[in-house]
Amino acid sequence: MNRRTRLWLVAVGGAGLAALLVAACLELPDFGGDRHPYGDRAVHESLARHTANTIASVNFDQRALDTLGEISILFAAVVGCVVLLRQTRDEHRARPRPADVARPVRRYALAVLPVALLTGLYVIAHGQLSPGGGFQGGVAAATALHLLYLGADYRTLERIRPVGLYEVGDALAVSAYLVTGLACLIGAGSFLANTLLPYGTFNTLSSGGTVPLLNAAVGMEVACAVVVLLARFLDQAVEIVEENGT
């Protein structure tokens, strides 16, 4: 295929895509309206299954398969990162020196750390009730752990963060999601169908059937994934060189 044909192909494809997009945009509901065909149906479905947060219902009930795809992508990305950023034969591992941290920074980081960690866990736990959920809370909790790197130094962070355990946790969480889906397949007849568990009382932690379970699995997966990712990047940036500090 020569250059001219390729250009033509791109032009035709692009024009087709543009035409379809414009046609689709013309049919969209008006901006800022309070009625939306998809929104109304999603809210109705989530209320029928006692899930207070409609977004959580869409993520972990109505579109649970999409979420499975998303966490698989994250898992694959983490595996790829771990493989790429491993220690190669011509690299050596230098122990970073203990770093001096300015006292206000240390005090602030150590004061904020528990608050941020708790906020992350809270957001995970209340994913089916209030805005947030496994993904947001997981990232927040995992990032909060790394305040220790700012407040203390890299060695302290390493001591409380066995990367191996987090890698196992990552894999376990993805499996937990899959196992929940399979349990639904066996118990309810279709993969990830939210008809197996009782829906519980509306607006309590245990409401929503399988939504809290899947939400917790995603929370654990994301938290572990972010910890492992940051650990690999920090390894490369800090440990394979002499200096320390931020």
User: Can you give the binding site for another protein, defined by CB under 8 A?
Assistant: 53, 55, 123, 131-133, 135-136, 139-140, 143, 146, 226, 229-230, 233-234, 236-237, 241
CA–CA dist 128, 117 (Å, integer): 19
Phi and psi, residue 36, nearest 5°: -145, 125
Contacts of 75 (CB under 8 A, 6+ apart): 170, 171, 174, 221, 225
Beta carbon of residue 230, minimum distance to another protein (angstroms, whole number): 7
Cα separation of 73 and 156, whole Å?
31
Kindly state the tokens that stand for 98. Answer: 């203990």
**Strands, DSSP E only, in 9-110?**
none
Residue 81 or 185 with smaller CB distance to another protein: 81
The least distance separating another protein from the CB of residue 132, rounded to whole angstroms, comes to 5
Backbone φ, ψ for residue 87 (5° rounding):
-80, 120
CB of 15 to another protein, least distance (A): 27
Nearer to another protein, 81 or 193 (CB): 81
For 163-224, what is the HEC assignment? HHHHHHHHHHHHHHHHHHHHHHHHHHCCCCCCCCCCCCCCCCCCCCCCHHHHHHHHHHHHHH
Exposed, middle or buried, 173 (CB in 10 Å: 0-12/13-18/19+)? buried
CB closer to another protein, 112 vs 193: 112
Find the shortest distance in angstroms from Cβ 50 to another protein.
19
CB of 70 to another protein, least distance (A): 11
Asked if 141 and 121 count as a contact pair (C-beta separation under 8 A), the reply is: yes
Contact (Cβ atoms closer than 8 angstroms) between residue 200 and residue 208: yes
Compute the least distance from the CB of residue 140 to another protein, in Å: 5
Minimum separation from the CB atom of position 59 to another protein (A):
9
In the bound state with another protein, the residue whose beta carbon lies nearer, of 133 and 208, is 133
**At which residue do the structure tokens 């940036």 appear?**
237
DSSP type of residue 210: T
CB closer to another protein, 6 vs 97: 97
d(C-alpha 214, C-alpha 229), whole Å: 22
Please, which residue, 173 or 238, has the CB nearer to another protein?
238
Nearer to another protein, 184 or 239 (CB): 239
